[in-house]
A and B are shown apart, each in its own frame.
Chain A
Amino acid sequence: MFENQPTTGRARKGASIAALLATAVLALSACSGGGASQAAPSDDPNATLLVWTDSTRQAGFEAFQKANPNVKMKIETVDGSALLTKIQLFNRTGSGWPDVVFSQNPDDATSLSSSQYNYMASLDSLVSQDVQKGFGNANQGCTQGGKLMCLKNDLAQDVLWYNKPLMEKFGYKLPTTWDEYQALGKKVAAEHPGYIIGAAGDTNVYYDYFWSSGCPLQTVVSDTEVKINTKDPKCTRVADMLDPLLANGSVAKASPFDPSVAALGKDQKVLMMPGASWFGDFVFKPAASFGSPEGVIAAAPIPAWSGEPTNYSGAQGGGIYMVSSHSKNTAGAVKIALWMATSNDYQTTAPTYPAYGPAATAWAARLASDKFYAENPFPVLQAAAGKINPAESPTRYGMAPALSATVTAAIKSGKTIASSLEDLQTQLAGVAQTTGYAVTQ
């Protein structure tokens, strides 16, 4: 094996070429080229509709199919993170697009309606003005270039979730401003160390604190221009408010979904936590998460930043329905999206707060009869629904990666938020520029 390797000069050259090619194969992972092709669709009411959904919304689409057995449709569950990739591949091959898509990520509306993807059909003329009005300002993120491009499924407005018996036991008052929230955090750290009033070690630090404050990180000026300025007082005041609380431990340095915070939740040591409307049912309730007992958790309005006209919140999520511009059965596709977003048949059973106003009112009954909550959180959720800070809108770049690499990383490693804002500026501006935005400060 060792002493007998017949190697001529040519074989050696061949072998080195083979080695070179082998490494080439190993090193290459992506390919390129091509552009989107578009065929003019002619509407055919009998064409089969391909529906892409997440597993949570699957039951809804199935209910639609049951109620409308004559509509030919095929429901597939897909991984949301692969959506952009798949649409791009279909743009290359010129076929295969799904007719209706549900996405959990509001940013997808901006990406997929851009000229780079050119996927979404404008719904302006396909959805009646009455229905559009029913959404209030919920479809703001769905409006791209002045056109309605998608329908919002649910709202993820933030409220202040709190442990009612614990607040009464400690004799604390609910904070109505973030200054009071900070004062409460200092008090909790001194009087009841180990208890927390928030958890900031995740991207929710943006949704709950930076966005509610109106810190310009995704302030869209136009399709090609975005304002990012972490030196803005609306950003620095968030750092000033939170840094002392992270230092004294009253706000956890971990994510609300981290096992260490779940352990605090199980021990009833989460005094309060700013969080999206779905935190009640999906973070506090499940046994696998906080597993809070019945009659403990309630919702209060999110505190207000001083000088703001109202107590704005951010939004952690809020799914959307999109219709393909390539659909051969646009009317059928719109019908499905519209039914999912607005019909009481589905939305009253939906797990999250409906974006469509009339459906939300019908949905309220479910919360009112839920013994899990110490008091019905619906009025608070409803009041917050119209107060998502309009300063920030979805962009073609996702906030999360740059935020995780800078602010969240600083929080998790015990550094201050203030020290990470400059890096956030660099990274976010860099990401925005690479996705084709001009950045103004």
Chain B
Amino acid sequence: MSQTRRTTTRSSAIAWAFTAPYALLLLAVGVVPALYAIYGSFNSLKNPTSLSFDNYAAVVHDFRFLPAIGNVALFTVIWIPVMVFGTILLALLLHEKVGRFSSAMRLVFFLPGAVTGSAAVLLWYFMLDPQVSPFAPSLHALGLHTSNDVFTSSNLAPIFALVAFITGVGQWIVIMFGALQGIPQELLESARIDGAGPFRTALLIKLPLIRKYVVYMLILAFAAALQIFAEPSLFYSITKSGSSWWSLNQLGYTFAFAQGDFGQAATVSVVLMVVSAAAALFLVFKTDFFKNEEES
């Protein structure tokens, strides 16, 4: 008994030693600012000396809050399925026949992700504006002749989803591909011997084995979707489509930097944190994300 306890203590000490650098960083640039933001969200400009729910009341009743939720929800609903299915499909295809072509394609998929957020948005503006796009003939064929035709308010969420998908899919393919590489060869071989074709192997063997990565991706993608900022704010500043409070993060930015109200900005951040944390906890506890074989 005591032997076991000593082993446990020692191994947990080692674990802490390994995680300490990350934990310290997390504390300094994550947890402490988060706690400060939570404090700030209860500290309003109107009532700076005491803590209150003033900011929450103001934000919830702000005429921009509900439309921003609607926009972000629409974006999330379009982007996440496209992202998750797209990534899995492409990763499975690449893994089906591992070779030179597959690794070349992996690089090709990864390349758009090398163009970071804001540059990617500018690139896409030039690709989508029929007046300047190299694909102008195809856009004209679709009946799109001016940027007004393309960047209508109803097109914005799908356009942002497209940009976010192309720029984000590459790195997730690399991660999923890595996960697929981890599947033991014997397992795939025995599936083949049992008569499973590539389709059944992908669906019934590979997919269940990488599902934890899919959950992991879902959590991060959901958190990223809630925070959408670069796409709407840059497209707005170029095309004046959408608004400077299209998304929740833009609204928070407006509170902080156009209105100078850091308390309300912190409130938006706390709301975002609560929602994405709740979603993460749901996925962690209601799926077998952190279970091992014995438990599940």
Q: Determine chain B's interface SS by DSSP, over half rule.
A: helix
CA distance A413 to B241 in the complex (A): 10
B265 touches A32 (CB 8 A): yes
Contacts A21-B31, A23-B277, A259-B132; A31 near B40 (Cβ below 8 A): yes
Contacting B262 at CB < 8 Å: which of A23, A24, A32, A413?
A32
Number of B residues, CB within 8 Å of A: 78
Across chains A and B, the number of contacting residue pairs, with CB separation under 8 Å, is 189
| B277 cross-chain contacts in A, Cβ below 8 A | 20, 23-24, 27
CA distance A24 to B285 in the complex (A): 17
Contacts A401-B245, A434-B62; A32 near B48 (Cβ below 8 A): no
1/0 per residue, CB under 8 A from A, across B262-296: the answer is 11011011101101110111001100001111010
**Interface core residue of B43, B219, B257, B295 (most chain A CB under 10 Å):** B257
Contacting A28 at CB < 8 Å: which of B33, B209, B229, B258?
B33
B291 touches A31 (CB 8 A): no
1/0 per residue, CB under 8 A from B, across A13-24: the answer is 001100111111
A20 touches B280 (CB 8 A): yes
B243 touches A401 (CB 8 A): yes
B269 touches A28 (CB 8 A): yes
| A28 cross-chain contacts in B, Cβ below 8 A | 30, 33-34, 37, 269-270, 272-273
Flag whether B140 is at the interface (Cβ < 8 A). no
CB distance from A139 to the nearest CB of B (A): 24
A23 touches B240 (CB 8 A): no
CA distance A402 to B182 in the complex (A): 52
CB distance from B45 to the nearest CB of A (A): 7
| A202 cross-chain contacts in B, Cβ below 8 A | 240
CB distance from A172 to the nearest CB of B (A): 26
Flag whether B201 is at the interface (Cβ < 8 A). no
| B102 cross-chain contacts in A, Cβ below 8 A | none
| A15 cross-chain contacts in B, Cβ below 8 A | 284, 290
Contacts A32-B36, A259-B132; A23 near B223 (Cβ below 8 A): yes
Residue on A with the closest CB to B208?
A: A2
**Which residues in chain A, 394-441, are within 8 Å of chain B measured between CB atoms?**
397-398, 400-402, 404-405, 408-409, 412-413, 426-427, 430, 434-435
Residue on B with the closest CB to A258?
A: B147
Partner-A contacts on B (CB < 8 A): 26, 29-31, 33-34, 36-37, 39-41, 43, 45, 48, 58, 62-64, 129, 131-132, 146-148, 151-153, 182-183, 209, 212, 219-220, 223-224, 226-227, 229, 236, 240-245, 249, 252-263, 265-266, 268-270, 272-273, 275-277, 279-281, 284-285, 290-293, 295
Partner-B contacts on A (CB < 8 A): 1-7, 12, 15-16, 19-35, 82, 84-85, 88, 111, 116-117, 201-203, 253-255, 258-260, 263, 397-398, 400-402, 404-405, 408-409, 412-413, 426-427, 430, 434-435
- Ranked nearest first, the 4 interchain pairs of A and B with the lowest CB-CB distance are A32-B40, A25-B30, A405-B243, A259-B131
A-B contact pairs, 21 of them (CB 8 A): A7-B295, A16-B281, A19-B284, A20-B280, A21-B30, A22-B26, A23-B273, A24-B31, A26-B220, A27-B223, A27-B226, A27-B273, A32-B43, A33-B40, A84-B260, A203-B240, A254-B147, A259-B131, A259-B132, A427-B63, A430-B62
